[in-house]
Amino acid sequence: MEFSSSTTDWSLDSASIDERMHLFDNLQRLLEKQIEMVRKSDFRNVEALAEQADSIVEKIVKTKAFEQPEFDGQREYLTKLYRRLELILSAGKDSTGRQLRQVGNLRKTLKAYRNSS
């Protein structure tokens, strides 16, 4: 899933409220898609979506929309999505670490068994 990234010069003066809302909506969809891809262990697409999200965040920063009170609700929801994504990624990292330790222990056991035979 790819979202368009136009070459428009995004600034506070030139971006309308609708354009800013569109940026927030696109970022929300990208974050939700990233969460879905992490749950499917599709990390290649997670990374590609992260790059797209970074581009949108840059545009949002240029418009200073995060600082505007009319976007408080969107900012709070996006923050929750980022936290959820971070927690899921962290849990996956912990799980992978446990699995690697188990593999290491199994290799040690097999090596010890092989050496004792």
pLDDT of residue 1 exceeding 90, the answer is no
CA 34 distance to own-chain centroid: 5
Instruction: Quote the pTM value.
Output: 0.70
Q: What's the N-to-C CA distance of the chain in angstroms?
A: 54
Are 58 and 7 in contact, with CB atoms under 8 Å apart?
no
Dihedrals phi, psi of 5, to nearest 5 degrees: -130, 90
Write down the pLDDT at residue 112: 79
CA distances from 103 to 91, 107, 115 (A): 18, 6, 18
Write down the pLDDT at residue 95: 67
Q: Using CA atoms, how far apart are residues 55 and 94, in angstroms rounded to an integer?
A: 29
Q: Using CA atoms, how far apart are residues 96 and 107, in angstroms rounded to an integer?
A: 16
**Tens-digit pLDDT profile for residues 24-83:** 999 999 999 999 999 998 988 999 999 999 999 999 999 888 888 998 999 999 999 999
Question: Is residue 60 left, alpha or beta, with left meaning phi > 0 and alpha meaning psi from -120 to 50?
Answer: alpha
Two tokens at 9?
């010069």
Q: Using CA atoms, how far apart are residues 48 and 60, in angstroms rounded to an integer?
A: 19
